[in-house]
Amino acid sequence: MSMILVGMSTCGMSAGAKDTYKSLEALVEGSDNELTFTGCIGMCFKEPLVEIREGERRTIYGHVDKKRAKEIYETHVVGGEELPDYIVYQEDGGKACGGSEQQFLERQERIVLRNCGLINPESLEQYENRGGYQATRKALLEISPEEIISELKDSGLRGRGGAGFPTGLKWSFCAGYESDVKYVVCNADEGDPGAFMDRSVLEGDPHAVLEGMIICGKAIGAAFGYIYCRAEYPLAIHRLQVAIADAVAKGYLGENIFGSGFSFDIKIKQGAGAFVCGEETALFASIEGERGMPRIRPPFPAEKGVFGKPTNNNNVETFANVPWIISNGGQAYRKYGTEKSPGTKVFALAGKIAKGGLAEVSMGRTIEDILFGIGGGIKEGREFKAVQMGGPSGGCIPADLKHTPVDFENIPKTGAIMGSGGMVVMDDRTCMVDMARFFLDFTQDESCGKCTFCRIGTLRMLETLERITRGEGEVEDTDMLAELGEQIKQASLCGLGQTAPNPVLSTMRYYMDEFLAHIKHKSCPAGSCQALVDFIIIEEKCTGCGVCAKDCPVDAISGIKKQPYIIDIEACVQCGKCMTSCAFDAIYTVGKKVAAS
Amino acid sequence: MNQTEAEFSYRLWRHDGAQGELIPLLQSAQDHFGYIPRRAIKYISGVAKVPESKIYGVITFYSQFRLQPMGKHAIRMCTGTACHVANAGMLLETIEDELGIEVNGTTEDGTFTLFSVACIGCCSLAPVMMVDDDTHGSLTPVTTRRIVRKVRRKTLAGEKKAAAEKPEEDAAASPAKE
């Protein structure tokens, strides 16, 4: 008898895991094989993934569509013969023993993702079999709240939401305030475009987060917790609801947990689509039903948070670390990572990377190690240009600095931040000016409008960048951007405004030549800013169908049917119409030729 | 009474004046009506004892809430970082061109509403769009047009079939009588 597991998190489903599951369901029916589903194991580039588990032997197949599912079922599960061509990872008795993507998993160290991809996230029983709720039992029955906090201080765990504040210290602040009511808040409002590790943890191992919150409640003396999850993650919300209901039924949540006299309840609050609500004071305002606008600190949340009560707020990944630390001890956690940034961190690899997905590694490994050792380098073998870390609050790290160790000390030196762990990789076709504009467009749109500099200042910066990408920039613009950027950083109340200019400032620091190419030569070297490029037809791909010529509003395209067409660069107005109508991807852009001067 | 309506009424009925319930109330109103109509704001204001102006303030702050009805199908084009790098802007233009509407607009026949959203968390399959609850990844202008056309064809076929089967009911449900 074998167990068949289908990876069913959002990434798997968008690759078609639902169909795979359905077809396997029909095949399994009537046999003694068991079909179940699991969360994301991190190999998003190979989704949908199907695992066949026979005792200790695990075989994971990649890109399993309906047809391949049938083949695998008939040959491997029924016939007993493995299909090595499709195997991405194989393990026997806990040891990796083959598969095309063995390196991807082997080079990782998994604490936060310890259960993701291994258990059915909607089964409390499977979580318990992996040692689930033992940490809670220990925290509630065996050790005191002070010991929980000192264990966390020993571990050196730092907040994984981005700021890196020591978690143990944060808890001790909140524990120090006397109050009849206190709150534990889990920030699951993962708004950074390009980051999806919290979603994967919530979808793959929701009980670990609940456990972290219960332990936190015990440590600081709170009896109630909120999980603030963004509404764009319906599956994560569903899995959390199932997990909470199961935990309540089993007595892990509610009154008198484990007979310890400690009670704890958790409620889910759905976000309503506002990036600024990832900032803790804005998040509290949103929980209270207000417009999610940040508040002035002090008073800090540890003193006055949700509904004016002492509140401790941590990120999903931070909470997922807690049960492991309580079970294994703070010193064991220190075996991973560096002295000042202990432990592991989950990174979301996306953009122009060959193997996009999730990777958990010890802090202090280099950018190169993560992107090339695990991520497999750049898509289509192109040139590595930069990696963006920290989303709209972070910055771009150029290829020259790829030996930088990734931790809370070294990344800020480059002008980027650790952030929540999104790594968006860029190749030579990505325009850095456009990236700066993109992030500012995002923060400008998401600014809540409370602080003048954040509200108007970001808009002025955005307008300037838009002018530059349209080819109407002036040389003084860069100075103005730098000056205004500094002012916005100083005159904003919350993290959104204080960091909004970072993407612009960091790209100007490393890629001033690209800014100048846009401003002086009216050319986009990466071939990305539409107004500053030449459109070209690739002869080999053009079939001569003539659709582009028909669609061109200025008749700049001409040719003979069934032969490659040509674009007259002088007449072209760079509207991009031909590119969207070409059915053969035959139209390409290059930076405008700079006249030799 | 259907499920969303029951949920909305239940929430209204259960409401105990706790301030924190305002956003869940608005969310369930939107689930039921598809948007937040004037009358829902009135109900909620009466029950929650929150001024209408304040409710309006909350609605306009959050991007999830809509004050206008939307088309039968929602197209959500992801313009998060990873999708942006993968040329999502071009795809957005392609859809705008295909449907003849702009972002946040609804087609004249009420079939589609187009949204541009920040990151739906499928970065490794960029560029991505969602048509209702289905996610489509690794898009090109060609596949994008194909998907949109397919949904439109299906909707039209469904409408014709429905009109042929029960013409009376269809007429009764027409928006003119709303």
pLDDT tens-place string over residues A475-530: 999 999 999 999 999 999 999 999 999 999 999 999 999 999 999 999 999 999 98
pLDDT tier at A597 (50, 70, 90 boundaries)? Answer: very low
The domain made up of A3-106 has a fold known as Glutaredoxin (3.40.30)
Residue B90 to residues A576, B83, B84, Cα–Cα distance (Å): 8, 11, 9
Asked whether the CA dihedral B156, B161, B164, B168 is positive or negative, the reply is negative
The domain made up of A530-591 has a fold known as Alpha-Beta Plaits (3.30.70)
CB atoms within 10 A of CB A383: 11
What is the crossing angle of helices A502-510 and A512-519, to 10°?
Answer: 90
Q: What's the CA gap between A231 and B20, in Å, rounded? A: 16
- Mutation test of the interface with chain A: which of B44, B61, B97, B128, choosing the one with the most A Cβ atoms within 10 A? B61
Burial A308-343 (b: 16+ CB within 10 A, else e): ebbbbbbbbbbbbbbbbbbbeebeebbebbbeebbb
Beta strand A265-270 pairing with A183-188: unpaired
Q: Which of A405, A421, A280, A450 is nearest to A357 (CA)?
A: A421
pLDDT digits (tens, 9 = 90+) for A101-150: 999 998 999 999 999 999 999 999 999 999 999 999 999 999 999 999 99
**Window from A57-61, A330-334, A520-524, B30-34 with minimum mean pLDDT:** B30-34
Tokens of A99: 């598969």
CATH H superfamily, domain A126-334: NADH-ubiquinone oxidoreductase 51kDa subunit (3.40.50.11540)
Identify any residues that bridge with A226 across adjacent strands, giving them in sequence order: A185, A267
pLDDT digits (tens, 9 = 90+) for A39-66: 989 998 898 999 999 989 999 999 999 9
pLDDT tier at B159 (50, 70, 90 boundaries)? Answer: confident
DSSP label at B94? H
Question: In chain A, which residues have their Cβ closer than 8 Å to the Cβ of B90?
Answer: 576, 579-580
Q: Is the pLDDT of residue B172 over 50?
A: no
Q: What CATH number does the domain located at B73-172 have?
A: 3.40.30.10
Domain-wise residue ranges, chain B: 3-61, 73-172
Q: How far is B143 from chain A (nearest CA, A)?
A: 9
- The CATH architecture assigned to A344-427 reads Roll (3.10)
| CATH 3.30.70.20 location in chain A | 530-591
**Window from A307-311, A421-425, A574-578, B168-172 with minimum mean pLDDT:** B168-172
Give the residue from chain B lying closest to A448, CA to CA.
B61
Residues 6+ apart with CB under 8 A from A80: none
Q: What's the CA gap between B51 and B53, in Å, rounded? A: 5
Q: How far is A216 from chain B (nearest CA, A)?
A: 23
Extended strands (E) in B25-79: 73-78
At A507 the pLDDT is 95
Beta strand B112-117 pairing with A384-389: unpaired
pLDDT digits (tens, 9 = 90+) for A275-297: 999 999 999 999 999 999 999 99
At B177 the pLDDT is 37
| CATH 3.10.20.600 location in chain A | 344-427
Amino acid identity of residue A591, one-letter, is: G
Q: What's the CA gap between A316 and A479, in Å, rounded? A: 39
| CATH 1.20.1440.230 location in chain A | 432-519
Residue A14 has its nearest CB partner, among B62, B65, B122, at: B122
Would the CB atoms of B82 and A194 count as touching at under 8 Å? yes
* Residues 419-458 (A) with a CB less than 8 A from some CB of B: 422, 424, 426, 430, 435, 438-439, 442, 448
Tokens of A48: 């949908």
At A238 the pLDDT is 95
Residue A287 has its nearest CB partner, among B20, B63, B93, at: B20
Q: Does domain A432-519 have CATH number 1.20.1440.230?
A: yes
Asked whether the CA dihedral A572, A577, A581, A584 is positive or negative, the reply is positive
Tokens of A71: 């083949």
DSSP label at A58? E
CB pairs under 8 A between A and B: 151
pLDDT digits (tens, 9 = 90+) for A402-457: 999 999 999 999 999 998 899 999 999 999 999 999 999 999 999 999 999 999 99
Question: In chain A, which residues have their Cβ closer than 8 Å to the Cβ of B58?
Answer: 289-291
As a whole number, the mean pLDDT across chain A is 93
3-state secondary structure of A489: helix
Extended strands (E) in A217-356: 224-229, 265-270, 311-315, 344-351
pLDDT, average across residues A146-172 = 95
Contact A440, A504 (CB under 8 A): yes
At A162 the pLDDT is 85
3-state secondary structure of A567: strand
Radius of gyration of chain A (CA): 26
Q: Which of A204, A9, A12, A233 is nearest to A126 (CA)?
A: A204
Q: Is the pLDDT of residue B120 over 80?
A: no
Question: In chain A, which residues have their Cβ closer than 8 Å to the Cβ of B95?
Answer: none
Q: Would you call A73 exposed, middle or buried from its count of C-beta atoms within 10 A (0-12, 13-18, 19+)?
A: buried
Q: What's the CA gap between B52 and B112, in Å, rounded? A: 30
Identify any residues that bridge with A166 across adjacent strands, giving them in sequence order: A158
pLDDT, average across residues A383-409 = 94
| CATH 3.40.50.11540 location in chain A | 126-334
